[in-house]
Amino acid sequence: MTTFADMKKSIKTLTLGVAFLAILASCDKNRNHPGYSYFPDMEQSQAYETYAENPVWKDGKTNQLPPEGTVPREMIPYDFEKTDVNRTWAGQELENPYHGETEIVERGKELYGIYCINCHGDKGDGKGFLYTSGKYPYPPATLLSDKIRNNPDGEIFHVITIGFGMMGSHAAQVIPDDRWKIITYIRQELHQ
Ligand code: HEC
C-alpha cells in the first residue's frame, strides 16, 4: 500500500530528477556558442541606421529633418543679427532672469570653466590657455574692460549667442538659460 510518506518521497525524487536534467541540459560543452536565442527579432534589430537609405520615406533618407516651423526643446528662436545695432537692441530687450543667487553663480562658474575659460582666462582678462599657449592666435577680449562692465547683460547674451568679431557663436553649445548663469557669474565674481 502506498502511504502518504511514500508519495512525498517519490515527488521529491521526481523533482530532484527534473532539476538534475535541467542542469545537464543547460550545460554546453562549446562555450563559444551563444546558446539558443528566443525572440531573435529583438536581438537582431531591424532598425535603420541614422544615415542609411530608407524605403519608407519619400526622399529615401532615414535621418529626416524636423517638421518645418518646429523648435528643438530648450532652444528659443533668436531674431537679433550680428550687427552693432542689433547688439544694442538685444541689450535693451533681453533681461537676465537671475540676480546673483549663490547657486546660480556657482553653476555659472562651472559653465564658464567649460565654455569660456580656455580663451578668456580664469580671471576674465583674456589670458586663457588657448591664447597663452599660442594655439589660438587672436587675443580674446578682456571681460574686465569698462565696456563689458557697462554693457547690459543682454549684450553679453547677444555675444555668446551670435558671436563677436573673431569669436564664434556659442549658441549650439550653451543653452539660453546657461548663458544667463555664465553672465551672472561674470558679474558677481569677475567684476567684483
Ligand atoms: C575660442 C576662444 C573663445 C571662446 C571659447 C570664447 N570667446 Fe569670447 N571672445 C573671443 C575673442 C577672440 C574675442 C574678441 C573678438 C574680436 O575682437 O574680434 C571675444 C570677445 C568676447 C566678448 C566681447 C567683447 C567686446 O569687446 O564686446 C565677450 C562679452 C565674450 N567674448 C564673452 C565670452 C563668453 C561669456 C564666453 C563663454 C561662453 C566666450 N566669450 C567664449 C574668444 C573666445
Tell me the per-residue pLDDT of 57-85, one tens digit each, with 9 for 90 and over. Answer: 999 999 999 899 888 887 778 999 999 99
Instruction: Choose one of 88, 122, 157, 164 to mutate for the ligand 1 pocket test, by most ligand atoms within 8 angstroms of C-beta.
Output: 164
* Cell numbers placing 128: 586663457
Does 156 sit in the ligand 1 pocket, CB within 6 Å? yes
- First-residue to last-residue Cα distance in the chain: 99
Span from the CA of 140 to the centroid of ligand 1 (angstroms): 6
Higher pLDDT, 44 or 54: 54
pLDDT higher for 13 or 180?
Answer: 180
